Amino acid sequence: MTDTDSKPTGTPPTNGHKDSKPATVPHVVIVGGGFGGLTAAKKLGKQPVQVTLIDRSNYHLFQPMLYQVSTSGLAPADIAAPIRDTLHKHKKNTRVLMEEVTGVDTQQQLVFMQNQQPIHYDYLILATGASTNYLSHPEWESRSPGMKTLADGLEVQQTILGAFEEAEKEPDEKKRKRLLTFVFIGAGPTGVELAAASAVHIRHILSGNFQRIGPGDARLVIVQGPPRVLPTFRPELTKKVEKKLKELGVEIITGVHVTEMDEHGVTVGDEYIETENVFWLAGVKASPAGQWLGAEVDRGGRVKVQSDLTVPGHPNIFVIGDTACVMQDGKPLPGVAQPAMQGGHYAASVIADRVAGKQHQEPFKYFDKGSMAVVGGTYAVVESGPIHTAGFFGFIMWVFLHIYYLIGYRNRLQVLLTYFFAYFSAFRRKGGTRIIMLGRKQAITYQQQARTLDKPEADTLDKTAT
């Protein structure tokens, strides 16, 4: 039981789906069509409510496979599913708006958008995720793309492909070396997956495709503040991962921070590494939902929610996923897909119960299904219940789990086939998705424009990340 359970089920329904007419059933507004928001929408699609899901994009992005787009293994459409299609079955009670949400009026129960009239809610679910956190160096954003959005993933891809093309044309050996040096900052799962996949990708591409440059010319370095890579995994698995990374040709620098970054390189501890390619994988901060609500947030900007995922003082507002700080067993839940999905399911159940006039007694309880990361090719590390493994078996577990959770049948089939060709044939060397569309500089400009939509954001720091 929480302090919200005894309160009424939001305000009486007023104007929901059709904005000018009173609605006959409660109107649930969900902001964010990511893992949390989409799960909630699917469950509410079967309930006697009107649902409006608002997302700034028209697709759901499967972020766990974003590094595969960056390393040209998969195309963007393989890991992004149109939200409208995904919710098509529920179209009788669910509408989708592609819009940027800019704020919430909790008194009048209104959601504000960039290009639309405010819309009234009876229940609100905020599932707006997180964005890259450059800690105390926001100026590094323009020099080192992160890995959060599809545009980020493409920017990394275009940077890598563009660097090869520039290096092939570059007669000066020193400059060529700089173009072929890749620095990955942050060795959590995202950093490790991207560095390892890049090593494999670079080896494939540089073998035989160029005249002036070859696989031996590339240098890959992963930098990590804490003393070991994948610090949330057991030390014995970390050791195996470090060994695997070294086998793939990735240099590991741990226990030091990047202190400076300029257009020709980064300072890591005492070393200045000359490079044109720096990728920032060292942390995220929550979306500004906490600011919209004037709610208490943690250091990462996440809204401190109650055990039923509602915001204190607002029994009809739920915050879930990466935007929420949910405490369980004295610790905040990790910012991964499962808490978001389970949170979406839970919030929808609470709303369904309240609409049915029932009290939802159970607090939210997260069931931890474990963690995993792919370390290049067919090697993955898995920690799930009694299973702790690193190697091919881990990879098989990773493939099935991730493909199972990919939204949309077409994506699942397509990704499986792509994997089949990528791993069991010379497919990548022949083609893959290695098209330079934007060019390196254009990709960066495009990305910067996209990022302006995220401002102003919670400027809270999560310094634990590196």
Ligand X SMILES: Cc1cc2nc3c(=O)[nH]c(=O)nc-3n(C[C@H](O)[C@H](O)[C@H](O)COP(=O)(O)OP(=O)(O)OC[C@H]3O[C@@H](n4cnc5c(N)ncnc54)[C@H](O)[C@@H]3O)c2cc1C
Question: Cβ(286)–Cβ(300) under 8 Å?
Answer: yes
Is omega for the bond preceding 456 within 30 degrees of 0, making it cis? yes
Using alpha carbons, select from 156, 59, 62, 76 the residue that is nearest to residue 433: 76
Closest CB to ligand X among 9 and 291?
291
Q: What does the alpha-carbon distance between residue 48 and residue 427 come to, in Å, rounded to a whole number?
A: 49
Is 155 tagged catalytic? no
Burial zone of 17 (CB within 10 Å; 0-12 exposed, 13-18 middle, 19+ buried)? middle
Question: Cβ(29)–Cβ(111) under 8 Å?
Answer: yes
Closest CB to ligand X among 148 and 354?
148
Q: Minimum distance from CB of 186 to ligand X (Å)?
A: 11
Which residue's Cβ has the minimum distance to ligand X?
A: 34
Q: Which residues bind ligand X (CB under 6 A)?
A: 31-37, 54-57, 63-64, 66-67, 100-101, 127-129, 147-148, 189-190, 287, 321-323, 335-338, 340
Q: Minimum distance from CB of 176 to ligand X (Å)?
A: 29
Q: What does the alpha-carbon distance between residue 85 and residue 93 come to, in Å, rounded to a whole number?
A: 14
Q: Minimum distance from CB of 248 to ligand X (Å)?
A: 19
Question: Cβ(36)–Cβ(344) under 8 Å?
Answer: yes
Q: Minimum distance from CB of 44 to ligand X (Å)?
A: 15
Please state the φ and ψ torsions of residue 328, each to the nearest 5 degrees. Answer: -140, 130
Closest CB to ligand X among 337 and 355?
337
- The tokens describing 293, both together, are 């609500």
Closest CB to ligand X among 334 and 391?
334
- The tokens describing 230, both together, are 């994948």
Q: Minimum distance from CB of 101 to ligand X (Å)?
A: 4
Q: Which of 99, 155, 193, 276 is catalytic?
A: 193
Residue 131 falls in which region: left (phi positive, over 0), alpha (psi -120 to 50) or beta: beta
Q: What does the alpha-carbon distance between residue 170 and residue 178 come to, in Å, rounded to a whole number?
A: 11
Q: What does the alpha-carbon distance between residue 113 and residue 385 come to, in Å, rounded to a whole number?
A: 43
Closest CB to ligand X among 176 and 402?
402
Closest CB to ligand X among 26 and 335?
335
Strand order in the sheet with 50-55: 94-98, 50-55, 27-31, 123-126, 314-319, 310-311
Classify 73 as helix, strand or coil: coil
Q: Minimum distance from CB of 47 to ligand X (Å)?
A: 20
Q: Just list the catalytic residues.
A: 193
